């Protein structure tokens, strides 16, 4: 900490009364109050590495892009300075506790304190994630609590894993570039894997496993052109037919994934396949357990985004497949309030639940805060240009206003960029609220003059193409 703030100091150890003490030379404190500056002039004294993102009469937001890149993107560090002298620090959208870096929550508007603030911010180290070795890739391939990233630092590239609740910064004076969340997750995961391997070594060879291997070898001899998935399906049918009850079957994860895909697309067809005896597949009750592995709730859920990223990796989506668009669909639902008991608490489902900014905006406009039953739901779906499709967020509402759509849409776009996906267009229907939302991006000009291309309200380098669903624009003659 001292070395980062005072680069010219020298440290040594002295023995006094039999006890070693640390001696620091070269530290000079300036006790003069310093030159006062106005809040409106703070942006003139910002270092070159920091850029002004927002400058209003009450808030000054500064941004710093890290040299390190993760999946090709730099990490944005935001510093917010208010006219009330309060400051806040955010890394990749996550609020950072300034006291962890011995930085106060307020600042005096002097030139000296401003320089000291930016000098103290040099001690904030980013979390690179936990380094993933070559032989550890399979351990984290199916985890929904972490996501793999490509970290590029000093022209060196490495694969890392990042916990969905990553702290984004490391402790001060830490010798490692990994936060506690990421390092603990890797350690526990490796321990569980080693424990599982140890238990499997102690067990005797299962005759059923040996029989399954023999069947696989025979299938390869009879039909050498069968794919691995086809062989796995045939062996699973042979194994399941030998059990008197479906509860005794241990289904491979590939079969469960295939069954989930069929069931999600057409539950009736799945029932016909299983009940008519065409295939032995996992029961519907088992599919419900896997289908609801991620707790569904409104907004952007880190576990859902991690599942989406890991599924894209599992399906071997090509690089261009991470580019695509966001499909916005608002549908009407029946008003219904449900009380769900879980653990030690109770939750209410069926109420309007959008982003906190949206809820506060409604409270300010209406002069009161009250809960309302939702009669519509907004769903956001990512659709890649190579066909990868994933619904990743939903917001129950009472027919969202254009301002509500603006906040939730850009929140979803930022979340996709954060998880490595690149949305380049937004497709929606031609409802009146959606058209008003579109015009918010072109307050002075006609959208057609820029070919329906708008800039990100925080990052002008990110362009977004707006597309209206043709089915809602073209009127058919009777």
Single pTM value for the model: 0.49
Which is it for strands 389-397 and 422-428: parallel, antiparallel or unpaired?
unpaired
Q: What is the pLDDT of residue 204?
A: 46
> Mean per-residue pLDDT for 367-389?
86
247 — pLDDT class (breaks 50, 70, 90): low
> Mean per-residue pLDDT for 10-26?
76
pLDDT digits (tens, 9 = 90+) for 401-433: 888 888 899 999 999 998 999 999 999 988 888
Q: What is the pLDDT of residue 477?
A: 41
Please tell me which residue, 267 or 49, carries the higher pLDDT value: 49
Average pLDDT value for the chain: 82
218 — pLDDT class (breaks 50, 70, 90): confident
478 — pLDDT class (breaks 50, 70, 90): very low
Q: What is the pLDDT of residue 123?
A: 86
Instruction: Kindly tell me the burial class for residue 116, based on how many C-beta atoms sit within 10 Å of its own C-beta (0-12, 13-18, 19 or more).
Output: middle
Residue 241 above 70 pLDDT?
A: yes
> Mean per-residue pLDDT for 325-334?
86
Residue 242 above 70 pLDDT?
A: yes
Residue 79 above 90 pLDDT?
A: yes
> Mean per-residue pLDDT for 124-135?
85
> Mean per-residue pLDDT for 50-55?
91
474 — pLDDT class (breaks 50, 70, 90): low
CA distances from 403 to 254, 329, 433, 435 (A): 43, 16, 9, 12
Q: What is the pLDDT of residue 33?
A: 65
Q: What is the pLDDT of residue 174?
A: 83
Q: What is the pLDDT of residue 245?
A: 65
pLDDT digits (tens, 9 = 90+) for 438-467: 888 887 777 777 788 888 777 777 889 998
What CA–CA distance (Å, rounded) separates 242 from 250? 12
473 — pLDDT class (breaks 50, 70, 90): low
The closest of 317, 264, 308 to 412, measured between CA atoms, is 308
326 — pLDDT class (breaks 50, 70, 90): very high
Q: What kind of fold does domain 314-472 have according to CATH?
A: Nucleotidyltransferase; domain 5 (3.30.420)
* Domains in the chain: boundaries: 1-124, 130-202, 207-291, 314-472
| Residue % of the chain over a pLDDT of 90 | 16
| Residue bearing tokens 């409106």 | 40
């Amino acid at each position: 900490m001292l070395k980062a703030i005072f680069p010219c100091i020298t440290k040594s150890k002295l023995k006094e009364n039999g006890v070693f003490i640390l001696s620091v030379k070269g530290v000079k404190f300036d006790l003069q109050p310093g030159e006062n500056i106005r809040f409106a002039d703070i942006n003139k004294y910002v270092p070159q590495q920091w850029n002004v993102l927002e400058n209003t009469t009450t808030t000054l937001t500064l941004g710093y892009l890290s040299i390190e890149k993760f999946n090709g993107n730099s990490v944005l560090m935001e510093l917010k300075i208010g006219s009330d002298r309060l400051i806040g620090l955010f890394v990749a959208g996550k609020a950072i506790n300034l006291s962890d870096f011995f930085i106060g929550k307020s600042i005096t508007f002097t030139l000296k304190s401003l320089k000291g603030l930016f000098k103290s911010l040099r001690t904030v180290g980013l979390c690179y994630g936990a380094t993933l070795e070559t032989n550890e890739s399979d351990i984290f391939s199916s985890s929904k609590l972490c996501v793999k990233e490509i970290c590029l630092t000093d022209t060196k590239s490495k694969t890392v894993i990042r916990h969905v609740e990553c702290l984004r910064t490391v402790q001060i004076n830490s010798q490692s570039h990994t936060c506690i969340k990421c390092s603990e997750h890797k350690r526990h995961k490796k321990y569980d894997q080693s424990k599982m391997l140890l238990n499997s070594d102690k067990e005797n060879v299962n005759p059923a496993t040996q029989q399954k291997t023999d069947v696989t070898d025979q299938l390869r001899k009879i039909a050498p052109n069968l794919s691995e998935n086809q062989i796995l399906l045939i062996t699973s049918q042979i194994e399941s037919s030998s059990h008197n009850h479906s509860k005794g079957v241990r289904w491979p994860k590939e079969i469960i994934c295939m069954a989930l895909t069929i069931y999600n697309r057409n539950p009736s067809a799945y029932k016909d396949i299983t009940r008519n005896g065409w295939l032995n597949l996992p029961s519907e009750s088992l599919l419900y357990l896997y289908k609801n592995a991620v707790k569904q709730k409104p907004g952007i859920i880190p576990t859902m985004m991690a599942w989406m990223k890991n599924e894209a990796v599992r399906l071997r989506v090509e690089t261009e497949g991470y580019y695509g668009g966001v499909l916005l669909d608002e549908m009407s639902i029946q008003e219904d309030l449900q009380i769900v008991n879980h653990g030690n608490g109770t939750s209410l489902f069926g109420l309007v639940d959008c982003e906190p900014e949206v809820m506060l905006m409604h409270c300010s406009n209406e002069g009161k805060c009250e809960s309302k039953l939702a009669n519509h739901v907004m769903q956001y779906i990512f659709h890649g240009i190579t066909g990868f499709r994933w619904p990743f967020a939903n917001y129950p509402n009472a027919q969202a206003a254009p301002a509500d759509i603006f906040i939730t849409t850009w929140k979803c776009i930022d979340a996709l960029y954060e998880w490595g996906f690149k949305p380049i267009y937004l497709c929606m229907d031609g409802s009146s609220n959606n058209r008003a939302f579109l015009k918010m991006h072109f307050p002075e000009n006609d959208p057609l003059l820029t070919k329906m291309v708008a800039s990100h309200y925080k990052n002008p380098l990110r362009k977004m193409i707006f597309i209206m669903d043709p089915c809602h624009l073209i009127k058919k003659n009777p």
